[in-house]
Amino acid sequence: MKSPIFESSGTALVTPLRDGTIDWAALETLIEQQAAGGTAALIVCGTTGEGATLTAREHEDLYRFAAEKSAGRMKIVAGIGSNDTAGALEMAKRAENAGADGLLMVTPYYNKTTQAGLIKHFTYVADRSALPVILYNVPSRTGVGVTPETYAILAGHDNIAGVKEASGNIGEFARTAALCGDKVTFYSGNDSDTVAMMALGARGVISVASNLVPDVVSKLCALCLSGDYAAASALNRQYMDLFAGLFTEVNPIPVKTAMARMGLCSDEMRLPLVPMGKAHKKALEEVLERHGLIA
């Protein structure tokens, strides 16, 4: 079995912005909060981090800053997803130079490709990178999904170490896990699916909610890893309204809105993302109040 890049809770970290640029002071505070909350890994420049609208230089600066400020306390996984295979490899090299521990590579979007194309896309980068790769499947955003059979082929690659599965299809994940065995480490890509997927063999989650409650998500994963699924299920039920509330609009709009209300960073985002609608914002604030996250 390949060594996992991390186990338990990984946070899909937001990129705090102010006046159009990265708010480095806020980011340092967030990194400290994550370390204190028991987070095992920071995923930088992923979907939640608005990686698609960050420049190549911002990507590299963010990888390096997270690695330096984490100082070995958490693994750093660099989002390098692209619909351009050569561009993804360039980002992989930048991540390597910046001190990252691994790569998160989403399926190509818009041009999408076939299952054969997915195999070539991921293999091309994995062959040429010194860092291990986590595949990322989120067909609701990219328009293409990875089949269990394709996963089984990719799992045999020495440098493909993990899978972030965010299709929401638990039955298909169960089939994928059966085909791949222990050749890769699986992570839930949706907070609401964590307990179910860990019961089927996943070893953690790449979480949006842990931007707000890192201690809760870390505890949830620890309960699952210890086999206490009764307690994990109870904790999951307690926070299911928060998990759902963070996806009432396109991620990361809700989580940044929540973090701004909690005083963690501004709710500034780059276009085409826009501020949260009033009705959804009010409902989200009610959830935050129920959990004592805002007064």
Q: Show the tokens assigned to 206.
A: 């790449």
pLDDT at residue 252 tops 90:
yes
pLDDT tens, 79-129? 999 999 999 999 999 999 999 999 999 999 999 999 999 999 999 999 999
Domain presence at residue 292: no
User: How many domains does the chain fold into?
Assistant: 1
**Sign of the torsion angle spanned by Cα atoms 259, 50, 215, 219:** positive
Query: Which one of 69, 164, 256, 281 is the catalytic residue?
Result: 164
Range list of β-strands (E), the chain: 8-12, 17-18, 21-22, 41-44, 75-79, 102-106, 133-137, 160-165, 185-188, 204-207
Q: Tell me whether residue 290 is in a domain.
A: no
The answer to whether the beta carbons of residues 218 and 210 sit under 8 Å apart is yes
The average pLDDT across 236-249 equals 98
Q: What is the pLDDT of residues 149-197, one digit of tens each?
A: 999 999 999 999 999 999 999 999 999 999 999 999 999 999 999 999 9
Domain containing 40 equals 8-228
**pLDDT at site 22:** 98
The amino acid that residue 162 corresponds to is: G
Residue 38 lies in a domain: yes
d(CA 28, CA 62): 11
Residue 257 counted as domain residue:
no
pLDDT of 15 above 90: yes
pLDDT at 129: 98
Residue 125 lies in a domain: yes
Active site residue 110: no
Catalytic site includes residue 239: no
Mean pLDDT of the chain: 97
Per-residue pLDDT, averaged over 228-241, amounts to 98
* Domain membership flag for residue 286: no
Task: Say yes or no to pLDDT of 1 above 80.
Answer: no
Report the C-alpha gap between 119 and 122 in whole angstroms: 6
Q: What is the CATH number of the domain that holds 41?
A: 3.20.20.70
Of the candidates 63, 75, 136, 239, the residue annotated as catalytic is: 136
Please list, in sequence order, all residues whose beta carbon lies within 8 angstroms of the beta carbon of residue 106, skipping any fewer than 6 positions away.
46, 47, 79, 81, 136, 137, 138, 142
In a domain, 157, yes or no: yes
Tell whether 276 is covered by a domain: no
pLDDT in tens, 42-71: 999 999 999 999 999 999 999 999 999 999
Q: Are 276 and 198 in contact (CB under 8 A)?
A: no
Per DSSP, the residues of 17-57 read EETTEE-HHHHHHHHHHHHHTT--EEEESSTTTTGGGS-HH
- Whole-number pLDDT of residue 2: 83
pLDDT of 245 strictly over 90: yes
